[in-house]
Structure 1
């Protein structure tokens, strides 16, 4: 049993950490948020206090004005966060994502699919046997099949997908393309490398992560039992090596610094893309989504300013476009 545990943990570690697309983070169930930004509750209370002694006519007029204000704010909010879905003719008819539920790169692709309301099916890959992708020469995830065409590598998948569904807004012709590209590269080359040392920071956080991985991943009964404990122990030590590799001395401080760096770059904008998310917004949101409701993600929101932007992104991306099978 000990040998089986060691082999399973070793195989899982290699699978989840292979190159830049195999991932070992975890995700908690997404919380639905529909907050109305720019609420008028306090202004309505102030109006009511100053008007209560006035005539009934004044009250009626004031109430009508307040309701109009609320309606105007609601309309503005809807306009700000309204999606720009592709034309029906551009929407692929058959999209299949081969993924690990916990993988930040896979979640990056899903953020784009969800934001643009592209229906897609999911095939959960067993990270040990990888039998679900035996047919492919590419042995990592994500793999996205779009009307029979195989797309690989998360950033390349997103570029090719957007060129298909938004030809008039090709990623090669976006006016502020340099800024968007810079921060998409920052996600791939910096932000993702901070995640594993944080979610496997100690044994309790490692077990928290693997509890979800084994509950929602594609494992046999025996693999679930073995991987939860052997895998958590293995990844705890792997995370220490990742800290050394990427010169991370304090993993929480590095996570907080990355979050603050992103918020600073917004420069007061709702999103990096302005009034609507661009691909850099979706990339940051996608890779952070797996950790948001883990201990590391909760700490990040509590100790940095990223929470408001993240909530806006949840609202903008909306419900998953995943087709339940």
Structure 2
């Protein structure tokens, strides 16, 4: 019975943290029950491999390692190629001067990061509301329960690719809506959503240590209380470690790193020697690839990707061209 209860709790936590990473909605009642059960389990149940106080103390005592890992990851991406400075795309439309842009997001969500990459590149100031993945109280007002949600002067936009298309149209009203991306751009934007994002989870949760590293980053940036952070970090890491194995099977991935390296090399081949897929400046496909890869830049998977593929030079150019974040404090 104890084993069945533990499995049930882990399953509920899995749904919660999987929703946090992917932006999928999770029934709040299930999450609350799971969190209550796991919280109680910390105090009253025999210690397990994943939830033992010794294990918690060990990882919490080394929490400063996350900062070191982040710095190392950033350095690797930055020194992968000689620094080049590329001018940002100037805004083409004086008509698009929004008073308020607000992004409802999960910090580590690849689809949210696609939107942020676009906003940063076009220097559109935006505020961020970090959604708590446990209760989602920040988006209770919305009938759409996924992220990202972008509010532009009261207009709600959802679905990352649709958000980007609509923003591009506002910035470039002279370009017909059906010409937002050419055939090549549409092909690679679809590749990002249908392939690249599916390669990430099996890599960032590939081993227990990588799962812990990933959730240390996620919970450090997410909207968690202290208790929720501890529970999500260790229960989430445990759950997603097993979820990643299911995703690996679902998407026919036999070698996680091999799939990641292949995806990186496939993208570099698509550039055909150009600085960007868009030529001398990034297009929407460049921004999409950069956006979904940006959350893993601090992690072992991202460091390995740069060390073992040719993507580093392109990534460094993108990092320089996109520049600093356009986020403004609320």
Partner of 2:281: 276
- 2:184 corresponds in structure 1 to 179
Q: For each residue in 1:64-91, what CA deviation from the matched residue of structure 2 results, as whole angstroms up to 9, or x when unmatched? A: xxxxxxxxxxxxx66x534222334313
Alignment match, 1:168:
174
Distance 1:241 1:186 in 2: 21
Name which of 188, 196, 221 aligns with 2:193: 188
| Alpha-carbon distance between aligned partners in 1 of 2:78 and 2:212, rounded to the nearest angstrom | 31
Note closer, same or farther for the CA distance 1:82–1:115 as it changes in structure 2 (3 Å cut).
closer
1:121 aligns with 2:137: no
Conservation of the 8 A alpha-carbon contact between 1:21 and 1:153: no
The TM-score, its normalising length taken from structure 1, stands at 0.79
Q: Identify the residue that residue 12 of structure 1 maps to in structure 2.
A: 16
Q: What SS class does the counterpart of residue 192 from structure 1 fall into?
A: helix
Give yes or no for contact 1:8–1:231 (8 Å, CA) kept in 2.
no
1:18 Cα deviation from its structure 2 partner:
5.8
What is the match of residue 57 of structure 1?
Answer: none
Question: After the TM superposition, which residues 1-325 of structure 1 pair with which residues of structure 2 at under 5 Å, given as runs?
Answer: 6=10, 9-16=13-20, 28=70, 31=74, 80-174=86-180, 177-325=182-330
TM-score if structure 2 supplies the norm length? 0.78
Q: Unpaired runs of 5+ in structure 1?
A: 40-76
Question: What is the match of residue 43 of structure 1?
Answer: none
Query: How many Å apart are 1:303 and its aligned residue?
Result: 0.3
Q: Show the counterpart of 1:62.
A: none
- Superposition misfits of 4+ residues, deviation over 3 angstroms: 2-8, 17-22, 27-35
SS at match of 1:151: strand
- Separation (CA, whole Å) in 2 of partners of 1:265 and 1:171: 24
Shift of 1:222: 1.3
User: 1:50 — aligned with what?
Assistant: none
Contact persistence 1:104–1:286 (CA under 8 A): yes
How far, CA to CA, are the matches of 2:233 and 2:12 in structure 1? 10
Q: CA deviation at 1:292?
A: 1.5
Unaligned 5+ segments in structure 2 are 27-68
Per the TM alignment, residue 275 of structure 1 is displaced from its structure 2 partner at its CA by 0.2
